[in-house]
Each structure stands twice: as structure tokens, then as C-alpha cells.
Structure 1
Amino acid sequence: MAKSLRSKWKRKMRAEKRKKNAPKELARLKQALSLDKKGEADMSDLQEIATVVPADKITKQTDVEMAEQEEEGDGKMDMDKKRSKKTLLDEHGQYPAWMSQRQAKKMKAIRVTKKTGKVKKKKGIAW
């Protein structure tokens, strides 16, 4: 961009605003990092907003939950069991929702040519 008067003025005003807010921002950062105290984080303000849980407790819980899941099942995803892996058709002859119309058309063309043995000509401009 060009150095217009407007952009110069905006840059100047932003710099002044940064100078004005710098001490407040530094104090907030120090308080957040608790550098102005003895080095430990002050969690009293955070406990009003959110529940503070130690990391060790969370990792132990996830380890226990993973062990329970392994015991319960074989860890496979719940999928549509009645879908053909080769053609991707379900029991009603429908393709999955994520498949585009173009892909479905190609799959159908492949399936039809295998059944009949005849290649269907595509519609297009005849030269």
C-alpha cells in the first residue's frame, strides 16, 4: 500500500496508544504469569471462572478410561455393517453421504460394465 496521509496518521495514533497502554499491559502479563509474586501461579482468580484440575489427575483419569474401553470392546469404530466395501453401496443401494455425485456416477459405470460387459458411450459433442 502507498504511504498516504491517512495511513501515516493511523500508524502514529496506534503507536501512541501502545505507549499509553504498555504499563497496564505489562502489569497484567506479570500478574497472569505471577512473576511479581514468588513464582507460583495465583489460581484464586481463575477458580471463579473455571474449575482448576491438576494435570496428573487428568492423565490418570484418561488412562483409566482407555483401559476400560479396551476391556469392554475390541476398539473398533461403529460403522454401517451392511455396506459393501467394494462398491460402497448399503443394503438400500445408496452411496455414502460423503461421496460426490461424480464419484457415484463413476462407480455405477464400473459396476454396469462389469455386469453387462458393454461400455456405455458418454454423451458429448459428436465431431
Structure 2
Amino acid sequence: MAKSLRSKWKRKMRAEKRKKNAPKELARLKQALSLDKKGEADMSDLQDIATVVPADKITKQTDVEMAEQEEEDGGKMDMDKKRNKKTLLDENGQYPTWMNQRQAKKMKAKRVTKKTGKVKKKKGIAW
């Protein structure tokens, strides 16, 4: 796919744009990462690129959140223990969230045919 003339042209022009903007981008990155005499980066230019948060604040915050979460959960993972492995139904008869509607419909059809022995006809055009 993506072999049309239009997409080739777009790809070519994006490459040209990258070439044109590369020196400016590199200079801006170097300036952002250059250190001042104090040993800290110039944050005024960085603020328009990204939000700047000190590293020690982030590490403290994540450590506290992890500790609280472990205390709540008791250090165990949340697992769906009441799920039938064969049918993938839970105790309420619900399929897992990752399963799409087509898969659920297929599983239900299998279950019903096993239970009743009758095959339900599908709607639509028969070719």
C-alpha cells in the first residue's frame, strides 16, 4: 500500500522538510541541553517545548504512590479468578473487555449449539 504518486510525493516533501529543519532543530536541542554556569539547563527556552519538573519531585511522588497502592492491594495483582477458562465468561455472564463483539457472538453460538444441539441459521445472503 501507499505506492500512489500522491503518497510518494508527500513522502518526498516530508523528507525535504526534515532536511531543511534539521539544522535548526539540532541547534535548538543543543541550546536547550547546554548547561549554564550554575550547572542547570536554561529552562526559559525549554518551557515552550515541554513542561519542566524537577527529577527529585517525580521520584518522591512515584515512590509514595507505589507504597500506597501496595498497602491497598496487599501486594497482589488484580486477577479475574471467577472466569471460566473454556467459555471466558465471568460469574455475571460477561465476556472480557478485550474481546470484540464478533468473537463474543462466535463463542455464544458455539455454546448454544452444544447446549441445544440445534444450529441457528445465519442472517444474510446465502451464496
User: Normalising TM by the smaller chain, what interval?
Assistant: 0.3 to 0.5
Shifted more, 31-40 versus 13-22: the winner is 13-22
TM-score for the superposition, normalised by structure 2:
0.47
User: How far off is 1:18 after superposition?
Assistant: 10
TM-score (norm 1): 0.47
Q: Which structure 1 residue ranges, 5 or more long, are not aligned?
A: none
Q: Name the SS for the 1:49 alignment partner.
A: coil
1:22-62 deviation per Cα after TM superposition (whole angstroms, max 9, x unaligned): 98666544422327978742123335776533213311221
State the structure with more CA Rg: 1
- Take 1:83 and 1:5, find their aligned partners in 2: how far apart are those partners? 52
Conserved? CA contact 1:113–1:119, under 8 Å: yes
Identity of aligned residues (%): 94
Number of aligned pairs?
127
1:6–1:39 distance in 2 versus 1, CA, 3 Å: farther
Go from structure 1 to structure 2 and tell me whether the alpha carbon gap of 1:23 and 1:36 turns closer, same or farther (over 3 Å shift).
farther
Q: Deviations over 1:54-94 (max 9, x none)?
A: 21331122112101110112356768887655423456645
Superposition CA RMSD, Å:
6.7
User: Tell me, which stretches of 5 or more residues in structure 2 are unaligned?
Assistant: none
